[in-house]
Chains A and B, each alone.
Chain A
Amino acid sequence: MALQACRSLIALAPTALLSLYPLPALAQTTASREPIKLGAVISATGAIAGVGLPEREGILLAQKTLNARGGVNGQPIEILIEDDASSPDVAVSKVNALVHSHKVKALIGTSGIAQTVAVGGITAPLKLTQIAFSGLGPAVERERTCVFHITPSQELNARALLSYVRDMKASKVGVLHDSGYGQVVWNSMKDLAGEFGVTWSQVEKFEIAATDLTTQAAKVRASAPEAVIVISTSPMPFRNARQVRLTAPIISVHGTATYDYVKAMGDAADNIIHAEFLIAEDPLPHQREFVDLFQKEHGRLPKHFEAAGWDAVMSLAQALKTAGPDAANEALCSAMRRPYQGVMAKFDFSAPDMGGLTLASFNYSKLVKGKFTRLDYSAAK
């Protein structure tokens, strides 16, 4: 028995030895002074890589730009970026390493609600500033006053959609949503029907990985809706809806407002309205600089996920400038808790939801034959 145990360990010895020397992840520095170490965990692989990869691009561009402009009061920043492979367990592991081994001053990430809540369990007790790419989730997050949220909560997303529906004078609404993220938004949305004067003509749910939703789309069409709300992380509901000649306008959450989705929707990318943030073809004045920089760096236009990555870094840099690079965790966290004009939106990190986004933060776009066009509509009412 001892022999067998020995053999196990002999077989693993090289592995164990190597694991004592964790390999450093991607990092960049330009200047000569001691850099300020920050951590970032996003999902570069796995199910939500579609969101994590653009966030990373935004983060890297911000780091590069910031350091080229002299960093934080002359000190460069160094962001150690890790991939959590879309898994909360891996995210926890990576954050443990960043926080306890690399002693980062703050954490940017994660890309998904589950991961954010999981790693919040590490950062919150330490009052370590965390800037998350997910909206405010379960109740426990309300107490985590140093975990900031750059994307809207599900309820705010729901209200943004319903505002538009109400103002376009539609009252019969069909809904197609998936069983993951879509279910969460739907849970916030279903009770708001009365407030916005809509009735649900037909609500259909589908699995996240479903590749064909024609039947569900047909059921929605059969209820003759005046507008259809689609909440999905897949392009399929849009395609299937149009295939069954569901011609009502489709209104959707910002998650599907990216060029990749547009391509995957094919010719269904028409007459789709998104409550989103950055319409790079027609940016707001304060967004222009970022759009130009990104286009120069990557040769294509950015959307809000890239902008979110940028905003996370830049807002953190601002807080570091205020509190000083050697500030204690609480001091940095306090310095974060104020209004911040980002590229993606105007934030107020001192708000009770640690993000401060409101209905007025949304920019509405309409997909017309595969191109995003700005809608002259604002939901602030």
Chain B
Amino acid sequence: MNKLRRSLLLLLLVLAWALAPLLLSRHLIDLFVFAGLFTIGGLGVGLLLGQCGIVNLAQALFYGIGAYSSAYVTVQLGLPSLTGFLAGMLASALIAIAVGWPVLRLTGFFLALATLALSLIGNVLFFEWDWLTGGTLGIGGIPKLSIFGFAFDTPERVYYLVWPIAILVLLLADNLVRGRPGLAMRAMRDAAPAAEVLGVDMHRLKTAMFVICAMLGSLAGSLFAHYVSYISVQSFTVERSIAFLLIPVVAGSASVWGIIAGALFVTFIPELLSGFGDIHQVLFGLALVLVVTLLPDGLIGGADRLAQLLKRRMA
């Protein structure tokens, strides 16, 4: 595709994005906000999966840490919301280092299982430490985000806040992946002995990526807390971790921008399916299984193959 056409397409996309809140119902905008949050959180998991080949089922833990940090800091301590964001990301980073350093020595299934165990431990602690998290009753009254007095108190406003942040982190991630760290990660994933010989400190790289993933999860969690104003343990379960993992799987793990597609899938498909009545959860599971089975490269891979097929037909 030549440069002009590409730029034009990009412009159209941006226009569509910008105009969406004016055309769509509030309910759909709400879903798009969630899709934005999941893009941020899912990106972290996607980087670990796509670039490092690591299955991370602990993202709900860091999502929760970000949410609870923001909630606790603004509601109990009365400090400005930026403090909450920073506290959350700091706590997540520290925990990611402390836990990641030993755990990332594991590989494959064992690592996946360890991260799942982390998610569960996190869930139990969120329940138990109700002096911090409010337990089942949760923490309410979280103030909406405001910057210089401009309050983000409607879904439309949060939409215009969340997506630029999502695009920003996607850009940074894309940069990372195309640069030397990305090369090092892929070397580590595809030919570990060679990478080691070339002096790639694999363990440090893995831990660094785990920390980045945790911080992205925390960022998404903090934004979530300020958006919904009330959080409770039920939002930070193993199911949430699985949902975060689904995002890069559905998208096609190696794609950075494809995370958007994965996040949209995870947000909108359950909504679509709920029209079918009580069987909707079964259908969602089946849809997931079908994507994994039929589209090993995810939706992006599938779209790619379709594009190539069409190109061949037309040539």
Contacts and interface: CB of A to CB of B under 8 A. Distances in A.
Q: Is the interface of A mostly helix, strand, loop or mixed?
A: helix
Contacts of A380: none
Contacts of B127: 179-180, 183, 207
Given A8-B300, A93-B30, A118-B228, A19 B271 contact: yes
A117 interface: yes
A4 B257 contact: yes
Contacts of A6: 9-10, 13
A8 B261 contact: yes
Contacts of A114: 136-138, 232-234
Contacts of A181: 136
Interface stretch (B19-27, B51-59, B99-107, B206-214): B19-27
A347 B7 CA distance: 64
A184 to B, nearest CB: 5
A209 to B, nearest CB: 10
B181 interface: no
A282 to B, nearest CB: 33
A168 interface: no
Contacts of B268: 15-16, 19
Interface string B235-249: 100000000000000
B13 A5 contact: yes
Interface residues of B, number: 61
A183 B135 contact: yes
B9 A2 contact: yes
Contacts of B28: 19-20
Contacts of A87: 234-235
A184 B264 contact: no
A15 B137 contact: no
A15 B307 CA distance: 18
Contacts of B309: none
Contacts of B272: 15, 18-19, 23
A37 to B, nearest CB: 15
B235 A7 contact: no
Nearest to B239: A87
Nearest to B300: A7
A83 interface: yes
B179 interface: no
A17 to B, nearest CB: 11
A96 B275 contact: no
A137 B232 CA distance: 12
A239 to B, nearest CB: 23
B275 A23 contact: yes
A331 interface: no
Contact of B128 (A83, A121, A179): A179
B119 interface: no
Interface residues of A, number: 59
B315 to A, nearest CB: 19
B304 interface: yes
Contacts, number: 173
A138 B271 contact: no
A24 B275 CA distance: 6
B257 A8 contact: yes
Most buried by B among A118, A120, A121, A207: A118
Contact of A93 (B27, B124, B138): B27
A183 B6 contact: no
Contact of A101 (B25, B140, B307): B25
Interface in A1-45: 1-12, 15-16, 18-20, 22-26, 44-45
A93 B13 contact: no
B255 interface: yes
A45 B281 contact: yes
A86 interface: yes
Contacts of B233: 114, 180
A179 B307 CA distance: 52
B277 A117 contact: no
Interface in A206-244: 207
A100 interface: yes
Contacts of B124: 179, 207
B296 interface: no
A93 B271 contact: yes
Contacts of A10: 303
A89 B33 CA distance: 12
B136 A117 contact: no
Q: What 8 pairs across the A-B complex have the smallest Cβ distances?
A: A23-B275, A4-B257, A114-B232, A97-B27, A8-B261, A100-B26, A11-B303, A11-B299
22 contacts: A5-B260, A7-B303, A8-B260, A11-B299, A12-B265, A15-B264, A15-B272, A47-B234, A83-B274, A86-B234, A93-B27, A93-B271, A100-B25, A112-B234, A114-B138, A117-B137, A118-B228, A121-B230, A138-B138, A184-B135, A184-B136, A187-B130
Interface of B: 1, 6-7, 9-10, 13, 24-28, 30-31, 34, 124, 127-128, 130, 134-138, 140-141, 155, 174, 228-230, 232-235, 251, 255-258, 260-261, 264-265, 268-272, 274-278, 280-281, 299-300, 302-304, 307
